[in-house]
Structure 1
Amino acid sequence: MPKIKVLVVDDSALFRHAVVRGLEEHPSIEVVAAAADPYEARDRILEHEPDVMVLDVEMPKMNGIVFLKKLLPQYPLPVVVMSSLPDHVFEAMECGAVDFIAKPGSRTGVEAPVFLRELQSKIRVAARATLARPTAAPAAQQPAVREQPRAASTAYDVIAIGASTGGTEAILSVLKGLPPESPGIVIVQHMPAGFTKSYAERLDRVTAFDVKEAVSGDVVAPGKALLAPGNQQMKLVKRGSRLHVEVYEGPKVSGHCPSVDVLFESVAAVAGPKGVGVLLTGMGSDGAMGLLQMRGRGARTVGQDEATSVVYGMPKVAFEIGAVEKQTSLQQIPVAVKHWVWNS
């Protein structure tokens, strides 16, 4: 099998060389070029035709965000961005990056060996990613108009969403397609600590939901969405007649913390037929068994299809084991959820 050709772009010569050395230790990765800035990177892309680009966001001359906006419409390429600043990461994802990774250092608490192992893994996933068709650079996200959720009669108490690679934009798409009177929403997106709070704040700004990084005791209620914190597990619990979340430190489950399986299994146990499960794009199988448990307890379940998934892994496994009641495109998932919630 041919090696994955990688271009590394970072303005720090020391860090760039360390990344190159670390990546070349993996037998399936070949670093074909390195560049100190986007102008040099543009020439290296044309010269070497890399399979994946690893791109620093904070650079002089032209930052990584501007480079993505200029590059991807003309030269679609899987990009993994590196940053210690969460807001820059999510802007890069909005511009078409496939995945991101927190840079090592005191600001993120990530150690260099862990960073390099994770980057190797993300490159291998990115090389198989399905890229969206090139479009014009996205317009700036406008703050959503926040309406008080209207009372709505429904037999459902909670919507649980799980995602990994490609999930930041997929979750945003689903939330934008749902009305604020939807049942309370609980979300697991594979993401490191230090980034989930900024991601929740971004969703809060640009959707009609009140979105926050979850803490134990938060109530699950219409108009609200709770995002599991990075490096912590989150499960649904019932206290009296109300649903809450419990957030806690725990081991990885299905390879992840937070884990979609942990959330979905708790929704199956607590909400039973009053739950809706949504499994979106992502590598691996996290969420598949949990979604199967949800369906077995009478919940409605939907999985993202291959055509619109950045990585058709988690929803594929769920579909193959019979956990997915309906498989459909990302754009149609909110339609399916609304139909179940208000017409079942």
Structure 2
Amino acid sequence: MAIKLLIVDDSALVRKLLSEMLSKDREIEIVGTATDPYAAREKIKQLNPDVITLDVEMPRMDGVTFLENLMRLRPMPVVMVSSLTAKGADVTLRALELGAIDFVTKPKVDLAGSLEKYADELIAKVKVASKARVNARVSSPKPTVSASLHAEQRRSADAVLPAGGGKRFLRTTDRIIAIGASTGGTEAIREVLESLPPDAPAVVISQHIPAAFSKPFAERMNRCSPMSVCEAADGQYILPGHVYIAPGDQHLLIERDGARYRCKLSNGPHVNRHRPSVDVMFRSVAQNVGPNAVGVILTGMGDDGARGLKEMLEAGAPTIAQDEATSVVWGMPGAAVKLGSAQHVLPLHRVASEVLHLTADQPNSKAAHG
């Protein structure tokens, strides 16, 4: 059965573009369009769509206010359509807090060749939204199909960081918590960070996010976390009590500098069609931190991070995957579980406490591996 989609946007051109792109896929049926939230409210009652795309900026009522009302009165999967500006990023992150599944940027009608990639991304996100959980829905979603977001060739972490052999790891009391996430991850990460104390081990994060969004995301996390949160900078030392979020469009790697660790940023190729890639970060942690780390993979579309988490496990690091019941999309953690990468499969509300338990229990004498 086709996914019934309602498009809500005040621009006639954008409504036309989105309709044309999405209607090319046989699994999506455009059941209607609306010019503002008031018209959308009536169309939702009449048409009962499975998913809506929602413009952030509209007359009479903005998209976020409408979303807040919608999630209170009739929760349903929503994909936000946002501008790539600082204001647009902040508003979109607020929409994700309120329950939107994901977002796409406004279509760039003036850039030749960009619409085909945009259409692929839009179709993939609408399909994932149709299967995603909204406000911890009780019913189990259908299995998530990993979808291509880019037409480019799929690459593994080898494209950025070659696989390494066994290494000796220095005796150190410093721990690193490595977290990877995608769809639904901004809110899952917030829940974990809110539950970690200000003196927790250092946290490094790769979240699939555009370049314009990563700094506002880090600032938003800094306001809600007891730890100090920042967008990672190249060469920055990794310190306890601090959280380092990969900049959008750059891979975050962890390098050893004597007995200390530093952030390294890379503009290398997309891996698993993503930059930053969770697999790249996890591999660097496996190679340089080994048993002094804990790996965590949270909600997300696709399978980025599953192989890197397995490498962390093989290097002696405990590993955690978010469970299906609390994931918006059980793609990435599900792939990790299937691959045997996850020692612990936990509901989101238990991840932070288990991380603290694992970092506290790791013996300092665990100095060598392989």
TM-score above 0.5 = yes
Residues 159-198 of structure 1: pairs in structure 2 closer than 5 A: 159-198=177-216
Q: Percent identity?
A: 46
1:200 aligns with 2:218: yes
Determine the C-alpha separation between the residues in 2 that align with 1:52 and 1:251. 33
Aligned-pair CA distance for 1:340 = 1.1
**CA deviation map 1:47-93 (0-9, x unaligned):** 11111110001111011111011111221110000111100001101
1:95 aligns with 2:94: no
The answer on whether the counterparts of 1:8 and 1:35 sit within 8 Å (CA) in structure 2 is yes
Instruction: Report the counterpart of residue 226 of structure 1 in structure 2.
Output: 244
Between 1 and 2, higher relative CO (CA 8 Å, sep ≥ 6) is seen in: 2
Aligned-pair CA distance for 1:206 = 1.6
Aligned-pair CA distance for 1:106 = 9.9
Determine the C-alpha separation between the residues in 1 that align with 2:26 and 2:188. 32
The answer on whether the counterparts of 2:178 and 2:295 sit within 8 Å (CA) in structure 1 is yes
**CA deviation map 1:257-278 (0-9, x unaligned):** 1100000010000001000111
1:37 aligns with 2:68: no
The answer on whether the counterparts of 1:108 and 1:194 sit within 8 Å (CA) in structure 2 is no
Aligned-pair CA distance for 1:4 = 1.0
- Among 125, 128, 134, the alignment partner of 1:125 is 128
**CA deviation map 1:187-246 (0-9, x unaligned):** 000111111111111111221122111121011111111111111111110112210111
Instruction: Report the counterpart of residue 314 of structure 1 in structure 2.
Output: 332
Residues 30-69 of structure 1: pairs in structure 2 closer than 5 A: 30-69=29-68
CA shift in 2, pair 1:128/1:110, >3 Å: farther
Aligned-pair CA distance for 1:323 = 0.8
Determine the C-alpha separation between the residues in 1 that align with 2:334 and 2:173. 28
Aligned-pair CA distance for 1:111 = 3.9
CA shift in 2, pair 1:283/1:171, >3 Å: same
Which residue identity lines up with residue 122 of structure 2 in the other structure?
Answer: L
The answer on whether the counterparts of 1:237 and 1:270 sit within 8 Å (CA) in structure 2 is yes
Residues 137-286 of structure 1: pairs in structure 2 closer than 5 A: 155-286=173-304
Aligned-pair CA distance for 1:291 = 0.4
The answer on whether the counterparts of 1:102 and 1:108 sit within 8 Å (CA) in structure 2 is no
Determine the C-alpha separation between the residues in 2 that align with 1:227 and 1:254. 19
Aligned-pair CA distance for 1:341 = 1.5
Instruction: State how many pairs are aligned.
Output: 324
The answer on whether the counterparts of 1:104 and 1:110 sit within 8 Å (CA) in structure 2 is no
Aligned-pair CA distance for 1:35 = 0.3
The answer on whether the counterparts of 2:109 and 2:115 sit within 8 Å (CA) in structure 1 is no
The answer on whether the counterparts of 2:174 and 2:240 sit within 8 Å (CA) in structure 1 is no
SS at match of 1:256: coil
Which residue identity lines up with residue 293 of structure 1 in the other structure?
Answer: E
Q: Which runs of 5+ in 1 are unaligned?
A: 135-153
Instruction: Report the counterpart of residue 20 of structure 1 in structure 2.
Output: 19
Determine the C-alpha separation between the residues in 2 that align with 1:193 and 1:238. 26
Determine the C-alpha separation between the residues in 1 that align with 2:101 and 2:347. 18
The answer on whether the counterparts of 2:9 and 2:36 sit within 8 Å (CA) in structure 1 is yes
Determine the C-alpha separation between the residues in 1 that align with 2:350 and 2:32. 40
Which residue identity lines up with residue 298 of structure 1 in the other structure?
Answer: G
Aligned-pair CA distance for 1:117 = 2.0
Aligned-pair CA distance for 1:156 = 4.7
Aligned-pair CA distance for 1:133 = 4.2
Q: Which runs of 5+ in 2 are unaligned?
A: 138-171, 363-370
Instruction: Report the counterpart of residue 313 of structure 2 in structure 1.
Output: 295
Instruction: Report the counterpart of residue 73 of structure 1 in structure 2.
Output: 72
Determine the C-alpha separation between the residues in 1 that align with 2:36 and 2:286. 49
Determine the C-alpha separation between the residues in 2 that align with 1:194 and 1:92. 16
SS at match of 1:72: helix
The answer on whether the counterparts of 2:71 and 2:99 sit within 8 Å (CA) in structure 1 is yes
CA shift in 2, pair 1:178/1:109, >3 Å: farther
Determine the C-alpha separation between the residues in 2 that align with 1:298 and 1:234. 21
Determine the C-alpha separation between the residues in 1 that align with 2:73 and 2:133. 16
Which residue identity lines up with residue 98 of structure 1 in the other structure?
Answer: I
SS at match of 1:323: coil
Aligned-pair CA distance for 1:116 = 2.4
The answer on whether the counterparts of 1:51 and 1:77 sit within 8 Å (CA) in structure 2 is yes
